[in-house]
Structure 1
């Protein structure tokens, strides 16, 4: 049975049990601050378990893309080394929201595994919760009694809270669980050690394949448990492990889930998988990591230097350096794997196939950038090699951490390179540096969040902001959130006109006004399906009726900018082509920022055409067409553009300004006709990532102010140049005159440099057969300092040259030695410059014959020549 058939049989089985089969949610989490990525099958359904919103179906089945590489669930360092950990994996799940419970869930699990998949019953074990005194939880006798009707009692094991009580985090829905494990060992191995002794002991052939979680509780911030409003079932079956069991393999990587990619990598590398442990690990790392990288980019998360983007960049770089180190991939290769993956997954995750060229472009550019960084890091190691040899052949922990933090060199890569150079790494020192960084990060992001105080249970927020800017509201729940620098309150209202930050549009501000007080709403955000009104203080009478009042003027500017992004999107597709897809946006009251897929700079003429099209649509005063509850199939039939990486329900809101021009799925606020936008002006176009361009623009009076500011600057230039006509010609002449003067100045400075060189040659002192020169000099830039040093080297034999200079207010030192002095007199420019740099409160380094240093204190420069003389004399005596 191949993997596609295994997945389909799961869907068919639960469809026959009246489950609605739904598509996977995107990997990237948009409105849950507790998660970067979906890390479990239940994460997209959290609000249903908490009762924050009703589930659309009582029974659901799906396969969910999951990513576990950060936070509590972090398997990254195991990936590639063992047979069953992955970054991105599929979680098959069936769900009951207040419908069936333990009996049905466990019986169906057994039926599917043993009758449909025909896994051998004598290889299966199950575990149930043994209870926990601390939480005052009894053992799960109900699950035990259900299991013993299907499996012998010697195969039912009681598990601890760690193994058999599932929690998604420090707070949130949780409950006892019952796991199903399978023993995949040979008969000979089983005869030596019974399988029950290896359950939950990290044995690669005795693995958990299915977890049935019975959601009964909510873990509060104070650690206590409260009963959920209803009982739910949350099950998760690791698809890759299931395939390993059904296909009778000893590794997930031996299944057809991974083999197409593994064989492709091995073929391109010219190796055979299964013959060498190091190359096998590298191949597994690449075959695994491409899944996480490709699907994350598909779902809207580009690699970057912070938060979720940094996680993806880290996975990508881990993959590249394994290929670089063990498979000799010195040029981009990973991007080629995306096509193999897209072909394999097209039937279940078609979104990757639809965006393949974009995904490949992003990956290839990231690979190129990291390969350059690897090269720079290796050069950095080369320049410091002498220093390491002086330090007992040890790369100090600070430098090892710098290589990790700046150049992306993990500790094991630095250790590998060190061994090749006959060096070792101070791993303990590296650990200290790493822990200090983690502590800084923890301190910067630490928050203390109270539990919700619920005033009106079972009341959800009614958003009325599409139609009005005011409403009468009551607080239905609130909580306090403390960070290092501030304390704030999150209020949830029964109805609100405040738009919560979403889809690129920033959150509304305004006031909550009662008979006795006025509370400022500083921002509005979304947490799953809750709308949070953020305030700096709590109302004195929390149960009062409030007039919730949006800052209407601010929102009006936001509306103009949001509608303008729709017109811009349509104009981009018309001018540049239908390959243009939105890749991100920011809509504020000040400007709009629109990121889109495109592989070249947008030319000036194209920008003007795009701008003209948008302004033409504005002048036409096209009325807004809005459908608030359109079936998604009908919306897509209208040509509505859905954003990749967004999760849409069965019913969506469609915004259009003349269906020939702009039709999009959108939850934001908009003008009632395009004429209200007034005027549209592009202020910049730039690159933000591989294959992603960014346009920033302004509208209405902000656009008018921008144009007026540009005219004012233009008039100021006219006055300086002294002409009202042919301004570009006058500026061009000034520029050409400047270049002539600049060239003359350069020639003059070079002539001065020659004079200075001759003067320094005459000042050379004889020290034990060495020509010693040390002077503070005046030069205009660092290049001239370097040129002077190298020119001196050409005309003075046995040279020891030390130059000190203040350049643009900063002290610099250069040390130059003749090659024979390095080998015969054991002199070293790097050592010498580091000692001299102490006088200017700086540091530096370089090669044994030439090194430079910079510092913070130019007052120390006059001391440098005398100290250099002393240091050289001492060195020559040794």
Structure 2
């Protein structure tokens, strides 16, 4: 059965049982501060389990793209070394929100597996929660009784809290679960060892394929459990493992989910993947490493490609750093074990898009963009790898020099960690390179450095969140901020949050609020809550699990009082102008650069707007001016806002509204239109484009491969910009003695400056020639090398020219010159090419070593290198120590 059919039969089965089939949410979560990525099928339904929103149906089924590479659920380091863990995977799931419970969930699971998919019953085992006395949760007798009607009791396993009690996180909905495991071993293997003994013991052919979670508790901040107001079902079946079971193979990677990708890797690299990882001899050790490398690559490209398609670009922080790390892990395995030194992972995107584009159209529609981003990231990291290899060579050389009596020795574990932290070198790559040179590194030091970094990271991000104190139970919060900026409100719930970063803050939820919560790139509103006796400042507004959270540094004395919620209208007005201008600029970019332009990120606040978009070339001054002119023309047209709320998503898109990739839209959406610009947007906007007044681009540049960023200003910020420009122009006029024609005066000054520069250059050349004639007489002959070390009174560039001139004029020369420019020292080393080849001298190594004495660094080629520093007093010692290289 092909994987596409496996997926379809699952969804068709649950549709026949009255379930609404919904699409996968994006793999990247943008509105959930507790998660970076969708790490389970239930993540997009958290607000329903928490009772903060009403689902469109009490029965839902889907297949969800999941990514487990951070936090509590992290499978990254297992990927490649076994045949069933993945970073990105599909989770097939069916859900009940206060509807059916254990009986229906278990019976349907059994029916689907044994009657529809026709998995032999004798290959299946199930587990039931054994209970936990400490938490006063009893043995799941109900699940046991249901299962024993379907399967022999000797195939039912009691599971402990670790295996059979599922929790969303440290807090939140949870409950006992019932897992289904499949035994894919041969008849002979089953006869020799019972599959029951292998369940939950990491056996590659006895694996869990489905988990039925029965959510009936809520985990509180103090660790205690309380009953949920309604019982829910949350199931998840691993799509890749299910395909393995149905396609008669013993590895996820042997299914048609992965084989097309593996075949492409074989074609690119010339390597051959084998399905048998059993190591019988030293020669097969190499094949096993090849298999691991190929599994890593085909797994990781899925995670990276879908994350980029959903709007998460590789970067140096947050979720972007995780994606970059996954991609670099794939590149490293190709580099180390498949000997691929050029970008290649990007070539797999076309295969992936062809495989999965029908069910996940985003990967097909974004194929070119994803390919280009990955290619640029690969090229960049391969350059970084090269730099890291150079650094490792230096560390090896320094270690050999420091430990001549101890053989080749070990390099510092801290240095090995620096390679990992700065250049992305894993322990195994560093160990491999060192092993080839008869060396190793101090693993205990490496591990200590790693733990210290993790401790710093944990300390920086540590957050303690108390349980909600609910003042008005059952209230459904209402947002009225599109029409009002102040209204009467009551507090419905509060909680305290203590973090290392922000200190103690309080989160307040109101029964209705005019405060816009951060979202869609727009910052959250600020303002105040006013009662009869006090005023509380709202410093930020965010949304979490469908609740609008108002952040304060203090709680009201009377939390049950009536309040007037007042938005800071000055900040909101400026923000709305920037947000509306962002829509007009998006339209301008697509009109001027082409429809390939798509929004890839934005920030809108009261000061400026920032807009990231897909485009693979730097914008010209002409293009930037055209964008400015386009937006300002729309402002001058005084286009009214046409806002349509709560219209069907399909209708809005059909009418021309632009939906952004990676955003999660409901069945009904809000559309914002100014003239021909129409986008789906939940943000705050001006009533007429005339309110924006003026639009001005202040910068344009690259932020990632294939991504450009524009920063721009509107309204009062443009007025301030022009005022600053005018002040600057007046200062220039004063500096130029108030000429009648400023431009003419500037041109005259430039011509005069150019004339003086040429005169100075000629004088410097004469000075260099004179110094050369003097210094060539000062060489010392040492061990067949003509050596010269000297400080001169020249600029850095002139000193470099002098060193080259002296060295080129003298055979077998080693020239080391130093000078001071703008109060900072600089050093230069020239070594004749015959000395480089015959004596192994290297100017780059000389500069790096001696640069330490002037608190600097530098580098270059073996025959010439330069460096700069901060410590002028070190020049004397540098000049004295240069001779050590030729003695």
SS at match of 1:471: strand
Q: Is the 8 A contact 1:624 1:656 kept in 2?
A: yes
Residue of structure 1 aligned with 2:697, choices 661, 676, 682? 682
Is the Cα contact below 8 Å between 1:81 and 1:281 reproduced in 2? yes
Judged with a 3 Å threshold, the aligned counterparts in structure 2 of structure 1 residues 817 and 347 are, in CA distance, closer, same or farther, namely: closer
Structure 2 CA distance, aligned partners of 1:754 and 1:114?
92
Which residue is 1:429 aligned to?
445
Name the counterpart of 2:215.
215
Aligned position for 1:398: 414
Q: Which residue of 2 aligns with 1:467?
A: 483
Partner of 1:691: 706
For 1:143, the equivalent position in structure 2 comes to: 143
Task: Give the secondary structure class of the aligned counterpart of 1:475.
Answer: strand
Task: Tell me which residue corresponds to 1:643.
Answer: 660
Q: How does 1:197-346 map to 2 (within 5 A)?
A: 197-274=197-274, 276-346=287-357
Is the 2:820–2:872 Cα contact (8 Å) retained in structure 1?
Answer: yes
| CA distance in structure 2 between the partners assigned to 1:442 and 1:663 by the alignment | 43
Q: Report the Cα distance in structure 2 between the residues aligned to 1:54 and 1:723, rounded to whole angstroms.
A: 71
Choose the corresponding residue for 2:875, options 856, 861, 865: 861
Q: Compared with structure 1, are the counterparts of its residues 766 and 702 closer, same or farther at alpha carbon in structure 2 (3 Å cutoff)?
A: closer
More deviation, 479-488/334-343:
479-488
Q: How does 1:727-742 map to 2 (within 5 A)?
A: 731-732=746-747, 734-742=749-757
Cα 1:680/1:853, change in 2 over 3 Å: closer
| 1:441 aligned partner | 457
Alignment of 1:112-191 (within 5 A): 112-191=112-191
Instruction: Label 1:849 to 1:341 Cα distance change in 2 as closer, same or farther (>3 A).
Output: closer
* 244 and 504 in structure 1: CA distance in 2 versus 1, 3 angstrom threshold: same
Deviation at 1:443, TM superposition (A): 2.1
The offset of 1:288, in angstroms, is 1.1
The TM-score, its normalising length taken from structure 1, stands at: 0.93
TM superposition shift of 1:436: 2.2
- Residue 614 of structure 2 is aligned to residue 597 of structure 1: yes
Out of 236-245 and 346-355, give the one that drifted further: 346-355
Task: Kindly state the Cα deviation for residue 721 of structure 1 after the two structures are TM-superposed.
Answer: 5.1
Relative distance call for 1:732 and 1:194 in structure 2 (3 A) is farther
CA change 1:812–1:195 in 2 (3 A) is same
| Offset at residue 59 of structure 1 (A) | 0.5
Asked whether the equivalents of residues 739 and 745 of structure 2 are also in contact (C-alpha less than 8 Å), the reply is no
Alpha carbons 1:383, 1:846 under 8 Å: kept:
no
Deviation at 1:452, TM superposition (A): 1.7
Distance apart, 1:382 and its partner CA: 3.5
Q: How does 1:378-417 map to 2 (within 5 A)?
A: 378-390=389-401, 391=403, 392-417=408-433
1:614-659 Cα distance to aligned partner (Å, 9 max, x none):
222222222222221111121112111111101111111111123x
**TM-score scaled by length of structure 2:** 0.93
Q: Give deviations 1:415-449, integer Å, cap 9, x for gaps.
A: 22223333323322222222222222222222222
Q: Residue 713 of structure 1 aligns to a residue in which SS? A: helix
Matched, 1:542 2:553: no
Q: Counterpart of 2:380?
A: 369
Q: Secondary structure at the match of 2:273?
A: coil
Residue 831 and residue 13 in structure 1: after superposition, are their counterparts in 2 closer, same or farther (change >3 A)? closer
Q: Measure how far apart 1:760 and its partner are.
A: 3.9
**CA, structure 1 residues 666+222, in 2 after alignment: closer, same or farther (shift >3 Å)?**
same
Aligned partner of 2:278 in structure 1 is none
**1:798-817, aligned counterparts within 5 Å?**
802-814=816-828
The whole-number CA distance in structure 1 between the counterparts of 2:217 and 2:678 is 43
Name the count of aligned residue pairs: 870
8 A Cα contact 1:383 1:847, kept in partner: no
Correspondence 1:665 to 2:683? no
SS at match of 1:474: strand
> Is 2:720 the counterpart of 1:709?
no
SS of structure 2 residue aligned to 1:460? coil
What is the aligned-residue RMSD (CA, Å)? 2.7
**Which residue is equivalent to 2:571?**
554
Distance in 2 separating the partners of 1:830 and 1:363: 33
Counterparts of 2:120 and 2:775, CA distance in 1? 89
Aligned equivalents of 2:742, 2:432: Cα separation in 1? 61
Q: Distance in 1 between matches of 2:583 and 2:858?
A: 52
Distance 1:839 1:547 in 2: 65
Secondary structure at the aligned position of 2:100 is classed as: coil
1:617-628 counterparts in 2 under 5 A?
A: 617-628=634-645
Structure 1 gaps, min length 5: none
SS of match in other structure, 1:647 = coil
